[in-house]
Amino acid sequence: MVHFLDTNIFVYSFDDRDKRKQQRARSLIVDALSSNDGLISFQVVQEFISVATRKFATPLTAQDCGRYLDEVLAPMCEVFPSIALYHQALDVHQRWQLSFYDALIVAAALQGDCSVLYTEDLHHGLKIQALTVTNPFIAD
C-alpha cells in the first residue's frame, strides 16, 4: 500500500510542542523510508524547506535542510511538475471544491498511485477516486 505524506507530517516531526504528534509524524516518516511505500511530491519539498528555514522556533540552516533533503525527502520524492499534474489538480479542485494547492497534493498522490494521503489539512475519510484521506493525528 503506497501512501502520500503531506508537508504537515514533516513539520510536526520537528515540533516538540505536541509530543504525541511529533512521535506519530516521526513514526510515519521512518516507516515510509524503511518500507519504500512512502511518497511525496516536489510541492512537499518546497513547502517544508520554506517552513523549516523561516517558521521553526529554531530555523534550520541551509546546510541542515540540505542534509534532510538528501536523507529524508529525496528518497520519497517521486512526483514532479507536469502539465498533466496541473490538469488533474484543476479537475480535483473543481470536482471536490478544494483549494488549488490542496488539489495539487491530491493530484500528486493520485499520480503516485497512492491509496492513502496522510494529512490533517483535509477531511478525514474523504475518498477521491482510489485515494482515502487519513488524519494520522486523530486519537484512536
Q: What is the CATH number of the domain that holds 40?
A: 3.40.50.1010
Q: In which element (H, E) is residue 42 found?
A: helix 42-54
In a domain, 33, yes or no: yes
In a domain, 139, yes or no: no
pLDDT tens digit sequence for 35-71: 999 999 999 999 999 999 999 999 999 999 999 999 9
**Per-position DSSP letters for 61-126, written without gaps between them:** PHHHHHHHIIIIIGGGEEE---HHHHHHHHHHHHHH---HHHHHHHHHHHHTT-SEEE-SSS-TT-
Q: Which residue segment(s) compose the domain that 93 sits in?
A: 3-134
pLDDT tens digit sequence for 98-136: 999 999 999 999 999 999 999 999 999 999 999 999 999
Domain count, the chain: 1
Identify the bridge partners of residue 132 per DSSP, sorted by sequence position: 116, 127
Residues 11, 50 contacting (CB under 8 angstroms): no
In a domain, 140, yes or no: no
Distances (CA, A) of 22 to 25, 27, 117, 126, 135: 5, 9, 18, 24, 14
- Expressed in angstroms, the distance from the first to the final Cα of the chain is 21
pLDDT tens digit sequence for 2-33: 999 999 999 999 999 999 999 999 999 999 99
In a domain, 71, yes or no: yes
Q: Model pTM greater than 0.75?
A: yes
